[in-house]
Amino acid sequence: MGIFELFRLDGGVALITGGGGGLGSAIARAFAEAGADVAVNGRSPAPLERVREDIERLGRRCAIVPGDVSDRAVAPRVVADTIARLGKLTILVNNVGGIAGDDKPLPAMELSEESWDAQIDLNLNSVWRLTKAAVPVMSDGGVILNMSSIKAFQPAGGSGAYAAAKAALNNLTVALSRDLAPRIRVNGIAPGPVPTEAFMDKRGVTEADFPRVAREWGVPLERLGRPEDIAATALFLASPAGSWITGQTVIVAGGM
């Protein structure tokens, strides 16, 4: 097998939560380009439909499996729908996450109980629930990818609940990798600042602010990330190219 063939996902089926957002949609397109069929999950139908159209233009199948995976009843249905429509599940990308319960990051002492719980539930509990639903029906040799954050390693003001949840997710990734080896590999990705639509809306920034934001975040490579930077890492970890890697969370943050 040639080296580039190691990055192929031919015959694979991936389920990606938050599949209509900037990172999720980029990962979905990358996996389709590499030969996988893809199920995309999210709460808003319009972005998922755009991703489906892109994937089908690449000649791959795409299933939209809507639902809020932070809802306890949704995870089993999303997994079952994926298998019913695409035949199997070989890759799970727990991508959904973010600042939940408030319009913007707030200091930990200003968070309400409801906001704290919402952030832990979205960024940690939903991953455990969906993974628990998926593992029994995943193919041997399967892969799970958990989307962490640079904030798990470098917490900043206003990120208390989010950073705590992502740090816990890193440890869950390691624990799951031990529990599920050798049948399923489990890894994580910790992006730095990537100006997705959600990132920009939460922080009130525009493209003109990108150089300033990169300086403020202390990014040594002096630019913000691109969704493709994260998608390329996800493809590496999900493909045979990463077949001897498990229990790791890879920081993709321009040197942060």
Catalytic residue positions?
162
Tokens 């809802």 found at: 71
Q: Give the torsion through C-alpha atoms of 15, 136, 7, 146, to 10 deg.
A: 60
The two structure tokens encoding residue 215: 């300086």
Instruction: Give the separation between CA 197 and CA 13, rounded to whole angstroms.
Output: 27
Which among 48, 174, 24 is positioned nearest to 98, based on CA atoms? Answer: 24
Paired residues of 64 in beta bridges: 40
Which among 176, 204, 205, 206 is positioned nearest to 188, based on CA atoms? Answer: 176
Instruction: Give the separation between CA 246 and CA 238, rounded to whole angstroms.
Output: 10
Paired residues of 94 in beta bridges: 146
Which among 230, 217, 244, 101 is positioned nearest to 151, based on CA atoms? Answer: 217
Q: What value, to the nearest 5°, has the Cα angle with vertex 82 and ends 77 and 84?
A: 90
